[in-house]
Amino acid sequence: MEYVYDACVQKDSIDMLAAEITNRLGETLEAEFVLLFYRIPGALNLIPISMWRWEGEDLPELPKDHPLVVAHQYHHDIFEVSGAGEELAKQYLTSWKAHASFGLFSGDEVSGLIVFGWENERRLNKSEKTLLQRLSERLSAAFDVFSFYQQQREVQNTLTLKNKVDQLTQISASLHHDILNPLNILSMKCQIFERKHILKESNGDLKRSAEDLTKLVLQHVDRLAIVTQRLGQFVRQNRGQLRIEGLLLSNMLNNCVDIIGPDQFAADNIAIELQLENPDVEVYGDGVLLEQVFLNLLLRSYQSIGKQGRIRVTSYEPDAFTVVVVINDTGMRQEASPEHIVTEVESPLKQDLNQVCQESESSGLNLMQRYVEMMRGNLEYRAPLTGGNQYIVTLVKRWERKHDE
């Protein structure tokens, strides 16, 4: 089993680990099949990592809606399966009419289950039980190493993303400063010119030319100002500079739907329903930031549907301090590939919100999560087995009444 441990470290692959373990267990215990599952922190279910059978026929096919088949289908994806892993394993075995012994292992992060199966009833003898115990301990250690490497990878990914965002933020801040100040001077100078020389003096063609020129300059100054404002917004968000205030949730959500365009929803035959438990509820947040979060989530839902479907936005107040907004859609479930999420970065220059943004220029879900967390809230994504996507945004409820201000 030392080899298994080394394999995990060197190959950094849970599949390799599983293959080694199943081979060795099969040889030593003479089991007819071995199943291995592991459970990641926070998950309800066990994820099958290896199902192996010695000799004989292939494993019988399970019905397509069987939880294990579904689990396989969404391997490493976010999924929900009711029932504990042990139950699933028993169901699996029952479907083969097989007998089995179980061994549990538990590391700091990952726990799991080893299942040894025989077609005929058989009990483990004393030495096999001892071996099983030792293997469970080894597995725990091996999974700890695996978890450590997983964590390292996650930290690495987070750092990479953080570095990217920090660099972008730094560049944006410089650009913002370097553009905005000259723009401000140019704008004020033009406004003074307009006041002093155009409005007060009249000189036929020269006046008209000066008017046109000033108008043109001011028009372009305004355009550039919008771009620099967006850069500034990006910098402010990523530096955690928030303007926390009470925001009327219904206004915020209605604005977001208006920005995307109710006509656009209608054109694509997408019904959007807003059903807030309390339409007067206010939440604490940064208006610009929260609008971006809801816009992002609604656009995600919109994109995932394509044509014909439904987006339903509901809210409820689970306690006196929080408000939960749930966005459900009937679209395609999103892949929970970390790389996919990690490589998505904010596009500060995206201007036309009436256009559905392309995947590459959409804000990452992890960034949205970060924004919500900056407002002391929480954002969760779920892909229920029944289909569609579900975004759950928990926000801090404003507790003062407006007239108390």
Residues in contact with another protein by CB under 8 A are 173, 176-177, 180-181, 183-189, 191-192, 195-196, 221, 225, 228-229, 231-233, 235-236, 239, 241, 243-245
Shortest CB 230 distance to another protein, Å: 9
Q: Write out the DSSP string of 98-159.
A: -EEEEEEEE-SS-EEEEEEEESS-----HHHHHHHHHHHHHHHHHHHHHHHHHHHHHHHHHH
Is the CB of 28 or the CB of 191 nearer to another protein? 191
Is the CB of 236 or the CB of 370 nearer to another protein? 236
Is the CB of 221 or the CB of 396 nearer to another protein? 221
Angle value at C-alpha 283, between 282 and 285, nearest 5 degrees:
135
Spatial CA neighbour of 389 closest among 45, 49, 80: 80
Shortest CB 87 distance to another protein, Å: 52
Shortest CB 216 distance to another protein, Å: 15
Is the CB of 191 or the CB of 314 nearer to another protein? 191
Element (H, E) at 271: strand 270-276
Shortest CB 238 distance to another protein, Å: 10
CA distance 44 to 57: 32
Is the CB of 233 or the CB of 347 nearer to another protein? 233
Spatial CA neighbour of 276 closest among 155, 122, 397: 397
Shortest CB 224 distance to another protein, Å: 9
Q: Write out the DSSP string of 353-396.
A: TTSPPPGGGSPPHHHHHHHHHHTT-EEEEE--TTSSEEEEEEEE
Q: Characterize the bridge pairing of strands 282-286 and 244-248.
A: antiparallel
Shortest CB 231 distance to another protein, Å: 8
CA distance 391 to 308: 19
Is the CB of 217 or the CB of 356 nearer to another protein? 217
Shortest CB 177 distance to another protein, Å: 7
Is the CB of 188 or the CB of 271 nearer to another protein? 188
CA distance 33 to 92: 12
